[in-house]
Amino acid sequence: MAAKHLILLGPPGAGKGTQAKRLERDRGFVQLSTGDMLRGAVASGSPLGRQAKAVMDAGKLMPDDVMIAIIAERISQPDCRKGFILDGFPRTVAQAEALDRLLSERGLALDHVIEVRVDDDMLVDRINARNAQAGAGGGRSDDTIETLRRRLQVYHEQTAPILPYYEKTGRLVTVDGMASIDEVGRDIDLVLEGVAEAG
């Protein structure tokens, strides 16, 4: 399959990472998770990591210019020629506009913007289940209910406005993220195969 450039959009816990990993495995596209990149920076103890830890634990967003620079550098790496799935970027309209610029400078186009839509209540249930599985003291430090609520608020205020941005240009397709992982995967496959149209 030809290299494709996709965005998976959706609130925290919607399953974007799971679906991106599946597409990476099945289709060879590279998963570009800005959250994973920031967690890598936190683990390395770099100045970026120290900034990211404070921001992530508060459930807030990193500054646009920092994130845009990270993605600009990452999509220039040779492995991205296989195609990529953006998971966690863009998260603001400014990031979405910058991404359009970055892609057009490189002669690339966005093939699909896929919204994985999930209700807030289900996300709260999922985080509770994830934490129960991880056990006491396990899991991510930004996976508490309080942080999730803050992150959901940030999603609705700052990230959801991206949806009309992509809708206007006919690039947005929405899949039902409340379905099982396999069903969501099948719906995403239909979008990639051009069966499910934007609109």
> Which residues here bind ligand AMP, judged by CB under 6 A?
12, 34-35, 38, 55-56, 60-62, 67, 88-89, 91, 95, 142, 151
166 with 96: CB under 8 angstroms? yes
Dist. CA 120–CA 111, nearest whole Å: 28
Min separation Cβ 3 and ligand AMP, Å: 22
Specify burial of residue 122 (Cβ count, 10 A radius: 0-12, 13-18, 19+): middle
Catalytic residue among 22, 39, 53, 91: 91
Catalytic residue among 130, 149, 150, 171: 130
Name which of 100 and 196 has its Cβ closer to ligand AMP.
100
Min separation Cβ 142 and ligand AMP, Å: 6
For residue 140, indicate whether it is catalytic. Answer: yes
For residue 50, indicate whether it is catalytic. Answer: no
Q: How many CA atoms lie within 13 A of 98 on its CB side?
A: 18
Catalytic residue among 21, 126, 140, 150: 140
Name which of 83 and 90 has its Cβ closer to ligand AMP.
90
Dist. CA 98–CA 188, nearest whole Å: 25
- Residues near 150 by Cβ (< 8 Å), separated by ≥ 6? 58, 59, 60
Name which of 119 and 170 has its Cβ closer to ligand AMP.
119
Min separation Cβ 34 and ligand AMP, Å: 3
CA distances for 1 relative to 26, 83, 108, 186, angstroms: 10, 10, 16, 17
Name which of 69 and 132 has its Cβ closer to ligand AMP.
69
**Active-site annotation, residues:** 16, 91, 130, 140, 151
